[in-house]
Structure 1
Amino acid sequence: MEFFLLILLLLAIIGLSSFFNHFLPYIPVPLIQIALGVLLASLPLGIHIPMEPELFFVLFIAPLLFHDGKNVSRQALWKLRKPILLLALGLVFVTVFAIGYLIHWLIPSIPLPAAFALAAILSPTDVVAVGAISSRVKIPKTIMHLLEGEGLMNDASGLVAFKFAVAATVTGVFSLAEASWSFLVIAIGGLAGGAILAFLIIRLKVFIRRLGMEDVTIHMLIQLLTPFVIFYIIEHFHLSGILSVVAAGIVHTIYHDRDRSPAMQLQVVSQSTWTVLIYILNGLVFVLLGLQVPSVTNEIFKNPLFNNWEVSKYIMIITAALLLLRFLWITAAWQWGRLFKKNIQMPSKKAIGIITISGVRGAVTLAGAFTIPYVLADGSPFPDRALIIFIAAGVILVTLIVASIFLPILARTEKGSTEDLREEMERSAMLRTIDAAIRSIRELMNDDKPWIRSVGYRSI
């Protein structure tokens, strides 16, 4: 009964966050939800929800990334494949080494492998957080596609690098060749496995439809279970469950585009169901993140071994270094591309600024940090585990706040760009065309054609 009441309370907080956002539209919903989570954890209600990373990934990350994979533009992903890979792979591994050495230099008590582990878990950006912030900001479509593609891919690379860094810390053994080969196997295996399982699930739904079972409930249930089943199976074989659900979402979209006999009722129910589910899952992710902040903060601030000001300074320095490295990498990547292809257009400084500020860290970072073991192979405590988790949580909050403040300022100047103006003109022309067509149909309606009137056309 207590668990049921806790779920109701969390859902009520999600609804309350939307209420507050209505009156405080300049504050992003994720920040409001984190604040409400912190407030709830601080109240003397005895509420404590332990972070179980494996359960967190399968319950939240799997359906969210599956949904993003279904809705991301495949044409944009292919067109932007090079910059996406430069951010999702190149920037991740550069971050592991550069920020890892910086962390070890700042905090000598954290050994170099553990510093690499912290840098690795800080490398993935959160597509959920970026999407939540961008919902109130006018970000150019090309940049948004780039950020979505990066967010879908860099979770896997960051988590694989984190896994090997933690293993090196625990065992004291590391092999670059083995790590590189394992990364290829885990990534390619996750993508291929997710695509194959998604294809099999689609064939199952087709078989069910051929039996005459057009019940929307059955097909919707299969669709909802798809990301959980695929993620669990692929992770069971120690492959990338994250990339598997992204691949599954893309495969489902390809099938949907080629399906010549789509069930309209199923499409309507599917869209409505996923809208509600994603809204709830997004909210729960940030509320749960907020619930973890007080316990992590108290463990550091009440520990006499740590200086509160020094720890806060570490967070600010590491966050600044992450953003600076991201800015330099994006600029250098485009400059390097121009050396070989003169027709590549250099993005504006404002566009680079938007991409840089949008490098928000989120739920994957915190969930990954909680997977750090308590002890090493020899039985000694993992060095500065509490401090590592605290720094990860601090970087998440600072990047969210920085993006919330500066992203609207940078994106506002991009609103009048030629691309956005053209899109707005195309949309306006399309609406006028549809409106004119509806008026023509209404003029043709008479008493001899009651079936047209029954359709219930309405002007836009």
Structure 2
Amino acid sequence: MDPTHLFELVIGMFVAIIALHYAAHSFGLPPSVALLAGGAMLAFVPGLPAIAVDPGLVLVIFLPPLLMDGAWSIALRPLRRHMIGIASLAIGAVFFTCAVLGAVTHLLFPSLPWAACAALGAIVSPPDAISARAVLQRVKLPRRLQILLEGESLLNDASGLVLFRFAVAAGVTGAFSTVDVAGSFLLLAAGGALVGIVVGTVWVLFIRRLRDEYLIIAATTLLSWASYLLGEQIHVSGVIATVTMGLILSWHQHTVLSASTRMRGTSFWTVIIFLMEAAVFILIGLSLRGVVERGGGFGVVIATMGLPILVILLALTVARFAWIFGSDGVIKLCNALGLNRYTPLGAAGATVLSWAGVRGVVTLALALSLPEGFPGRDFILVTSFAVILGTVLVQGTTLGRVIDWAALTEPESEKARLTMSQAEAAMAKAQLATVQSRAYDSQGNLIHPQLLERYQRRAVMIVDYAERTEHYVPMLQAHFDVVLAAVATGRRELIRLHRAGDIDDETLDELERDLDLEELSAISAKS
């Protein structure tokens, strides 16, 4: 394909992303569903060339930054508290699901080698980080379930990749060892964690010496690919390396980044992640044409593979339910025996967690990377795409309803010790103490009376608000409505002065930035 035409296709894809996102919001659909369906329809537009997705390139381009974004934004204390549950999902559930699907596939196709059955299980077993993020952004979950799903999606790709590599090797050599798989996984995970620690620590030391915020943002953006590629280059888990590095960055970013760098970096990163997530679903949809053509067309695919694919999709869902409900049963048994370290999810929580296993780009990339001539390659490819389509379209669209049905509540043990207003009160008291210590000169003369009065009044108001939040909420909403109206009036006047030639562009930019900060602060406080 001509490079100019390729660039035109990329631009057209981003235009389609904007249009499909708008359509999704208009019809109340998850954006991932609209993007996947839109990409699938675009794949069959007459005259549009077939899109060949390079699986290795897709993983390298999209997976590292999306993993780092998930690690950057995840809550670290709950992550540590629920690491056993996350490991159960990211490792135990993946291995269990792979075994179940391997057995079911072999029952459906006895002539298919066990290695090929295991490869299919490894490909479709791990729920996808990108798909999980797309679904979780639209729903409200209790903190524990949110952490379990986010943590699982960050770490389970490593389990799936290890199983997949051993299954493919077994398909070629005919040898497979469960002990080797377990040992390799531990080695790859430990090596990846070490790489992530080294890269993250170097970043923390290096950032302290940089002064240009644009260099800091650029260096931090490139770090996700650096850690992933370094891990893969030395044959350890690039996934674990990227996640570990992201967790280190998340912990230290509050102390090593300035306010300006954090705000600008967050804005830049949010747009990049939005485009990447959307592009992934478009590419998955566009790949449908090649998948169907390899299977012999829609008619052949449905007639010869439809029923087995439905059985495998059902087995995939049942296996996840069985593992999660079984794990919850073990916790209840331990509690009955007096081991009360963990709290069961309960039937409603376990149902939501089981229904949230959405597959995506990693499943497709692994399926496409199967070597030519691998046993059952066409069936595995079609099944993998059907699993992605089924989980995104069915589970992705109905998860919100399942959550509403479950009527989940936040357990007291998961709630923060302080509410936001109480935290603001504590912060205001600390700030007042600093102002009081500096409001007087060495002779005890008050030199900052207005500043001291302002912080005293602010601390009293915030403490009173924390104690009587419900009483003040209506007044607070009205207060910031007035602030926003004043900001809008100020903005109109500023633009009028600029259009009339009374102020120059530099003045416009400076005052507009002040208004923007005031508006963002008011919107944040109002919400």
Normalised TM-score (structure 2): 0.77
Q: Identity of counterpart residues, as a percentage?
A: 29
The residue identity in structure 2 corresponding to 1:13 is A
Given the superposition, is the C-alpha separation of residues 309 and 141 from structure 1 closer, same or farther in structure 2, using an over 3 Å criterion? farther
- State the distance in 1 between where 2:99 and 2:410 align: 39
Superposed displacement of residue 396, structure 1: 0.9
For 1:336, which of 311, 323, 330 is the aligned residue?
330
How many aligned positions are there?
A: 433
Aligned in 2, Cα 1:201/1:363: closer, same or farther, shift over 3 Å? same
1:353 matched residue in structure 2: 351
C-alpha separation in 2, matches of 1:413 and 1:38: 31
- 1:390 pairs, out of 353, 378, 382, with 382
Q: Which residue of 1 aligns with 2:319?
A: 325
Structure possessing the higher radius of gyration over alpha carbons: 2
**Which structure 2 residues correspond to residues 51-90 of structure 1 after superposition, within 5 A?**
51-90=53-92
SS of the counterpart of 2:139? coil
Q: Deviations over 1:32-61 (max 9, x none)?
A: 101111121101233333221221111100
1:32-111 residue pairs with structure 2 within 5 A? 32-111=34-113
CA distance in 2, matches of 1:31, 1:307: 22
Q: Say yes or no: does 1:31 pair with 2:33.
A: yes
Larger relative contact order (Cα-Cα within 8 Å, sequence gap ≥ 6): 1
Cα RMSD (Å): 2.8
1:407 is matched with: 399
In 2, are the aligned partners of 1:106 and 1:314 still within 8 Å (CA)?
Answer: yes
Alignment map for 1:5-404 (pairs within 5 Å)? 5-25=8-28, 27-208=29-210, 214-257=211-254, 259=255, 262-302=257-297, 308-341=302-335, 342=338, 343=340, 344-374=342-372, 381-404=373-396
8 Å contact from structure 2 (residues 331, 344) kept in 1: no
Q: Deviations over 1:180-235 (max 9, x none)?
A: 22221111101111121121122222233xxxxx2111111101110111111111
* Alpha-carbon distance in 1 for matches of 2:319, 2:301: 27
Query: What is the CA–CA distance in structure 1 between the aligned matches of 2:6 and 2:290, rounded to whole Å?
Result: 20
Task: Indicate the residue corresponding to 1:445 in structure 2.
Answer: none
Question: Which secondary structure state, in structure 1, belongs to the residue aligned with residue 51 of structure 2?
Answer: coil
Output the CA distance in 2 between the equivalents of 1:422 and 1:220. 33
Matched AA of 2:403: A
2: CA distance between counterparts of 1:281 and 1:362? Answer: 13
Contact 2:141 2:408 in 1 (8 A): no
> What's the TM-score once normalised by structure 1's chain length?
0.87
User: Structure 1 residues 96, 5: CA separation in 2 closer, same or farther (over 3 Å shift)?
Assistant: same
Partner in structure 1 of residue 440 of structure 2? none
197-206 vs 60-69, which deviates more? 197-206
Structure 2 alignment gaps of length 5 or more = 425-461, 484-513
Change (3 A) 1:348 1:84: same
- Provide Cα deviations, 1:374-417, integer angstroms capped at 9, x if missing partner: 1xxxxxx2212111110000011111122134312211134563
CA contact (8 A) 2:328 2:346 kept: no
What CA deviation, in whole Å up to 9, does each residue of 1:122-142 have, x standing for no partner?
A: 111112212212322222221
Cα distance change of structure 1 residues 226 and 124 upon mapping to structure 2, 3 Å threshold: same
Residues of 2 paired with 1:295 and 1:169: CA distance? 24
Instruction: Say if 1:382 and 1:21 are closer, same or farther in 2 by CA, change over 3 A.
Output: same
Structure 2 Cα separation of the partners of residues 116 and 262 of structure 1: 46
Equivalent position SS for 2:287: helix
2:409 matched residue in structure 1: 417
Does the 8 A contact of 1:140 with 1:414 survive in 2?
A: no
